[in-house]
Amino acid sequence: MKTDLTDTTASKINKALVQGRRAIGTPAVGMVLTLVVVTDEENAYDALKAANDASHEHPSRTLVVIKRVSRSSRGRTQSRLDAEVRLGADAGSGETVILRLYGEVSDHAQSVVLPLLLPDAPVVVWWSVDAPRDPAGDPLGALGQRRVTDSYAAEKPIGELRARADSYEPGDTDLAWARITPWRSMLAAALDQVSCEIVSAEVAGEEANPSVELLAMWLADRLHVHVRRAVSAGPGLTQVRMETTGGPITLHRSDGAMATLALPGQPDRAVALKRRETSELLAEELRRLDPDDTYASALRFGVDRLGGQSAAEREAERAAAAAQPTPALPVRTATEPAAADREAEPARPAAVPASQGDADRPSPAQMPPVRKADPQ
C-alpha cells in the first residue's frame, strides 16, 4: 500500500502510517529498529532495495532521506517536504517512508526524522553515499546508535579511512569493513589449524578499495607484524599471504567467488568466498548494534603505517595530509600485552589529516553547496 503526501509534515506522515496500518489490518507490528537511509536521487533506488532486502532479517521502519537540490537560487530558498509512505507488501517487512527534502528543510532533515523514529527502538543511520566527515557529529548521525558509512563509495577511499579514524566514535562502522568478514573468518579458521608464529603478511587487492587496507590494518593490529599492501588487478581482494615459521599460509581468490586456501603441510582446499550484495552487508551490520571495538582498533592502527603502497599514491596522500599527531581516539584501549611493543615501533604514523583534510574530499557531485546543518 502506498500513500503520496505532497508538501507535508512529520505529523501528517505519522497519521498516514497509522491509517495505513489500520487499512491493511496489522495494527501491531514487530519492528526492531529504525533504519535511516541518507542518499541522493541517483542512489535512492539501490539503497532502498538493499534496505528492503535487509529488512527481511531485521523488520524495521526505513526512513529514506533524499535531499534534493534545486538548480535555481529561487528554488533553493523555498522549502518543501514530500513523502511516500509504503506499507505491507510494498515495503519489504516493515514500513518505509521516502522523504524528499527541497530547499531549506534539507538542512534540517533531523527535524523531520526525529518524530518518525520508532519509540524506544534502536536507530541506525546509513549513508549510502556522501557520508559526512564526522558521522557522530552530524545532526542525523547524532540520532543513531549506529552509524554506517561506506568508504568504498568515496572517491578517495584512503583519505576517507583517515577521516574515519579521526572522527571515530563508538557505534561508527563501515560497509567496507563488513565486506571482509568472510575473509577474516577464513583467516582466523586457518590459524586455528596451525600452530606457528607469523613473521609477516601481505594483502593484495585492487587499487582504491579500502577493504584491502582495512584487512591489512586488522592483520597488523592483531598480529603485530609488518603487513604490506600490494596492488593487483582485482576484483576486490585477491590474496592474503602470511609468512610463518612453518611455511606460508595463503588465501587466494582471483575470480571474486572461489578461493584457495593453502596451509603448510596440508592439501590445498577450495573455499567459497563470494563478494556479497549490499543488502547482505547491511543485514550483517544490523545484527549487532554494540560498538565494534575490533573495527575501531584496526582503524586506529593507521593506514599510513602499512607497507607497500604505490609510491605515487603515497605522495599524493601525503600532500593532502597535514602534519599533526594522531588525536587520541575515544575507544577502549587494547589490553593485549603486546600493545607496549607496538608503542615502541619506529613506524609511528607521521601524518594524519585533521580537520582541514577536507581538501582531498570531492565536493558531493560538484553540485551547489548543500550546506550541512550546523551541529550546534
Partner 1 sequence: MSPHSGLSGSGANPLRDPADRRLPRIAGPSGLVIFGVTGDLSRKKLMPAVYDLANRGLLPPGFSLVGFARREWEHEDFAQEVHDAVREHARTPFREEVWQQLVQGMRFVQGTFDDDDAFERLRATIEELDKAQGTGGNFAFYLSVPPRSFPVVIQQLKKHGLADQKNGSWRRAVIEKPFGHDLASAEELNKVVHEVFGSDQVFRIDHYLGKETVQNILALRFANTMFEPIWNRSFVDHVQITMAEDIGIGGRAGYYDGIGAARDVIQNHLLQLMALTAMEEPASFDADALAAEKTKVLGAVRLPKDLGRDTVRGQYAAGWQGGEKAVGYLEEDGIDPKSKTDTYAAIKLGVDNRRWAGVPFYLRTGKRLGRRVTEIAVVFQRAPHSPFDSTATEELGANAIVIRVQPDEGITVRFGSKVPGTSMEIRDVSMDFAYGESFTESSPEAYERLILDVLLGDSNLFPRTEEVELSWKILDPIEQYWDKNGKPAQYPSGTWGPVEADQMLERDGRSWRRP
Minimum CB distance to partner 1, residue 261 (Å): 5
Report which DSSP code applies to 36: E
Sheet holding 269-272, edge to edge: 226-231, 198-205, 237-244, 247-253, 258-262, 269-272
Minimum CB distance to partner 1, residue 272 (Å): 4
Residue number, 106 or 297, with CB nearest to partner 1? 297
Q: Per rule CB under 8 A, is residue 194 in the interface with partner 1?
A: yes
Residue 184: which of 152, 161, 211, 205 has the closest Cα?
211
Minimum CB distance to partner 1, residue 242 (Å): 10
Residue that has been written with the C-alpha cell 563488513 in this structure: 178
**Three-class SS state of 353:** coil
Indicate if the alpha-carbon torsion angle 366, 369, 373, 376 is positive or negative: positive
Q: Per rule CB under 8 A, is residue 293 in the interface with partner 1?
A: yes
Span of 82-90, 255-263, 301-309, 320-328 interacting with partner 1 by CB under 8 A: 255-263
The grid coordinates listed for 338 are 603486546
Of 257, 322, 339, 367, which lies in the binding site for partner 1, with binding defined by CB under 8 A?
257
Span of 56-64, 80-88, 127-135, 209-217 interacting with partner 1 by CB under 8 A: 56-64
Please tell me the distance from the alpha carbon of residue 141 to that of residue 97, in angstroms, as a whole number. 18
Please tell me the distance from the alpha carbon of residue 243 to that of residue 241, in angstroms, as a whole number. 7
Q: Distance from CA of residue 293 to its chain's centroid?
A: 15
Please tell me the distance from the alpha carbon of residue 179 to that of residue 274, in angstroms, as a whole number. 10
Of 184, 229, 300, 305, which lies in the binding site for partner 1, with binding defined by CB under 8 A?
184
Span of 14-22, 114-122, 191-199, 306-314 interacting with partner 1 by CB under 8 A: 191-199
Minimum CB distance to partner 1, residue 192 (Å): 5
**What's the one-letter identity of residue 113?**
V
Q: Per rule CB under 8 A, is residue 284 in the interface with partner 1?
A: yes
Identify residues 198-237 at the interface with partner 1 (CB under 8 A): 198, 219, 222-224
Q: Per rule CB under 8 A, is residue 288 in the interface with partner 1?
A: yes
Q: Is the peptide bond before 119 cis (omega within 30 degrees of 0)?
A: no
- What's the N-to-C CA distance of the chain in angstroms? 38
Q: Per rule CB under 8 A, is residue 178 in the interface with partner 1?
A: yes
Q: Per rule CB under 8 A, is residue 93 in the interface with partner 1?
A: yes
Please tell me the distance from the alpha carbon of residue 229 to that of residue 215, in angstroms, as a whole number. 9
Q: Per rule CB under 8 A, is residue 267 in the interface with partner 1?
A: yes
Minimum CB distance to partner 1, residue 55 (Å): 7
- Other CB atoms within 10 Å distance of the CB of residue 71: 8
Of 258, 323, 339, 347, which lies in the binding site for partner 1, with binding defined by CB under 8 A?
258
By CB under 8 A, name the binding residues for partner 1: 28, 30, 55-57, 59, 93-94, 178, 181-182, 184-195, 198, 219, 222-224, 257-258, 261, 263, 266-267, 269-274, 283-284, 288, 290, 292-294
